[in-house]
């Protein structure tokens, strides 16, 4: 871990300690409360238990370190219908910088309905209070925040991130600005511990917001939590505890279920000693597009609704292609050859090719793995992990690549075949070509009919015609599947003609795509006779 990483860790824990020391005794003393309104619909539906997950663009608002989990860029926009006519909009973005980490940004805007402006009349001592003021038009208060964020892996499964925020609050003709700083850490547990992640962040460190002569601190908060993926990564569980500087401690929990990578129902709960709402929502995903919706009740204040749309781009490609998709253990054997493709090679930490049988569910029969990007092909010899030949049949291979961020990307599956037997073939002469007056005689030209009795796809075939001495007189060959018939014109390889009424023979040789060879059981004998 370099000096920059060490410095970041020291700053983080120092700031976190300051937030914790402040504690809840500052209730009601902070400004820019809109910074506590959260971000997208997904995190809201999970009770904002997001510091230990934060695996998308809206996670910037909870733990900027979470960006470094992603391999793709993302644009995310959220519109919130808040209670009492308030509206809140979020725009989040992040883009990969290759081995240099992830760059992100966000823009948040809170707007309120128009408010009537009133002016004090005279000394304001009229017994009727309504007569002390007069209307003077209206105004629309707003709050906004624009942030620039950066995250990168620090090593040993630890990710670090920071976000610098410019804050602007406006009330009528008065406005105030400030700067806020968020720091975050996310630790991804080793595979032996499953899909566990631990997150910690401290948010809204920075300058006070000052209106006229009075200044208020930002709503600093220390977040700590965890997420865990189970059921084959289909279920995400998250838990978080928050220690705000201006409120009582908060406990949050959330869950998300992945159904066919298309539908994501979500539920959450947030205990804040005020509203303690249950939260609900769901997400829909189609390729690079996503839609998320959530609803959160706030007691007598009413319901709040969020809708988010996101677009993901630039994910590195992971591909697996079969240069040769057949393997055989017969004789010298033949091996399948798999070419590996890994995008963002500088960020590859580990890879594995898994070969499954065709059972339901598939059973892994062989694993090839390594660290860093793999340049050459993987060769499978139709044997399992213990070196024993696998049964003949169909198999499936997939490449899984783990990146420095901790994210894993899988290739599409590739179909393979394995064989442990030679092809069985036969050769015959069409009866129509035999001389009915002289059994066993075959008129020339002669039509041979090759047949594949058992075995898989053929790579090559050859019909050898032998002279009376058993030497090859003529060879007729081809590639791929056997033809329906092979016609012999009675000539040899050198153009010489056969000797009529002599006994010739023919045999069929084949080689299948596995490299296994087969030959017709016995040479087919016949007396060659020129057609009269």
Q: pLDDT value at position 261? A: 86
pLDDT of residue 276: 81
On whether the CB atoms of residues 488 and 444 are closer than 8 A, the answer is: yes
C-alpha count within 13 angstroms, C-beta hemisphere, residue 277: 21
The three-state DSSP-derived secondary structure of 258-304 is: CECCCEEEEEEEEECCCCCCEEEEEEEEECCEEEEEEEEECHHHCEE
What average pLDDT does the segment 424-451 reach? 84
Share of the chain above pLDDT 90, in %: 50
pLDDT of residue 10 exceeding 60: no
Q: Which domains can be identified in the chain, with CATH numbers?
A: 3-112+121-313 (2.40.160.60), 318-419 (2.60.40.1930), 424-530 (2.60.40.2550)
The confidence score (pLDDT) of residue 27 equals: 55
H helices then E strands: how many in the chain? 2, 36
| pLDDT category of residue 123 using cuts at 50, 70 and 90 | low
Looking at residue 109, its pLDDT comes to: 93
| Residue 10 or residue 97, greater confidence | 97
| Length reported for the chain | 532
For residues 383 and 293, the answer to whether their CB atoms sit within 8 Å is no
* Average pLDDT over every residue of 244-259: 92
Q: State the pLDDT confidence band at 150, using cuts at 50, 70 and 90.
A: very high
Is residue 96 scored above 50 in pLDDT? Answer: yes
Taking 70 as the threshold, does the pLDDT of residue 138 lie above it?
A: no
Q: Which of 259, 266, 305 is CA-nearest to residue 285? A: 259
Higher per-residue confidence, 109 vs 457: 109
Conformational region of residue 381, where left means phi above 0, alpha means psi within -120 to 50, and beta covers everything else? alpha
- Report the mean per-residue pLDDT for the chain: 86
Beta strands in 122-247 (DSSP E): 133-139, 142-155, 158-171, 174-188, 195-206, 209-211, 214-216, 221-230, 235-244
Q: How far is the C-alpha of 145 from the C-alpha of 153, rounded, in Å? A: 26
- Determine the pLDDT at residue 176: 86
* pLDDT higher than threshold 90 for residue 180: yes
For the cut 50, the answer to whether the pLDDT of residue 471 exceeds it is: yes
pLDDT value, residue 7: 46
DSSP 348-377: EEEEEEEEEESSSS--EEEEEEEES---SP
pLDDT-based confidence at residue 34 (cuts at 50, 70, 90): confident
> CA dist 528 to 257, 373, 435, 497, Å?
75, 63, 10, 11
């Amino acid at each position: 871990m370099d000096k920059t990483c060490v410095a970041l860790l020291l700053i983080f824990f120092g700031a976190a300690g300051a937030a914790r020391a402040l504690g809840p005794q500052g209730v009601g003393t902070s400004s820019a409360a809109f910074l506590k309104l959260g971000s997208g619909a997904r995190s809201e539906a999970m009770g904002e238990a997001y510091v230990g997950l934060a695996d998308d663009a809206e996670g910037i608002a909870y733990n900027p370190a979470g960006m470094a989990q992603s391999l793709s860029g993302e644009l995310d926009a959220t519109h919130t219908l808040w209670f009492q006519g308030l509206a809140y909009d979020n725009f989040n973005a992040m883009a990969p910088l290759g081995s240099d980490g992830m760059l992100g940004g966000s823009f948040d805007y809170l707007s309120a309905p128009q408010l009537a402006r009133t002016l004090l009349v005279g000394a304001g001592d009229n017994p009727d209070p309504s007569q002390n003021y007069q209307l003077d038009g209206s105004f629309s208060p707003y709050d906004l925040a624009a942030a620039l964020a950066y995250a990168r892996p620090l090593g040993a499964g630890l990710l670090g991130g920071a976000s610098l925020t410019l804050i602007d609050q406006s009330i009528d003709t008065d406005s105030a600005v400030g700067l806020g700083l968020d720091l975050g850490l996310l630790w991804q547990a080793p595979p032996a511990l499953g899909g566990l992640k631990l997150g910690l962040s401290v948010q809204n460190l920075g300058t006070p917001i000052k209106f006229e002569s009075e200044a208020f601190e930002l709503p600093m908060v220390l977040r700590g939590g965890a997420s865990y993926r189970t059921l084959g990564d289909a279920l995400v569980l998250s838990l978080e505890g928050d220690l705000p500087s201006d409120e009582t401690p908060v406990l949050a929990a959330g869950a998300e279920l992945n159904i066919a990578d298309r539908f994501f129902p979500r539920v959450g709960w947030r205990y804040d000693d005020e509203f303690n709402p249950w939260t609900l929502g769901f997400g829909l995903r189609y390729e690079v597009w996503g839609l998320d919706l959530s609803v959160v009740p706030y007691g007598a204040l009413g319901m709040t609704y969020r809708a988010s749309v996101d677009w993901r781009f630039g994910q590195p490609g992971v591909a697996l292609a079969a240069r040769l998709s057949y393997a055989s253990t017969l004789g010298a054997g033949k091996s399948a050859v798999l070419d590996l493709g890994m995008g963002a090679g500088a960020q590859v930490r580990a890879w594995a090719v898994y070969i499954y049988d065709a059972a339901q569910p598939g059973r892994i029969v062989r694993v090839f793995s390594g660290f860093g990007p793999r340049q050459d092909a993987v060769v499978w010899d139709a044997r399992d992990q213990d070196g024993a030949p696998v049964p003949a049949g169909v198999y499936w291979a997939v490449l899984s690549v783990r990146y420095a961020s901790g994210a894993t990307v899988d290739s599409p599956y590739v179909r393979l075949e394995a064989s442990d037997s030679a092809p069985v073939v036969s050769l015959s002469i069409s009866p129509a070509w035999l001389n009915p007056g002289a059994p066993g005689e075959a008129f020339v030209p002669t039509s041979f009919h090759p047949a594949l009795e058992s075995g898989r796809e053929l790579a090559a075939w050859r019909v050898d015609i032998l002279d009376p001495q058993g030497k090859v007189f003529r060879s007729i060959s081809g590639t791929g599947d056997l033809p329906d018939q092979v016609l012999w014109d009675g000539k040899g390889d050198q153009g010489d003609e056969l000797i009529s009424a002599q006994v010739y023979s023919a045999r069929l040789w084949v080689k299948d795509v596995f490299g296994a060879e087969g030959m017709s059981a016995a040479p087919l004998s016949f007396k060659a006779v020129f057609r009269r």
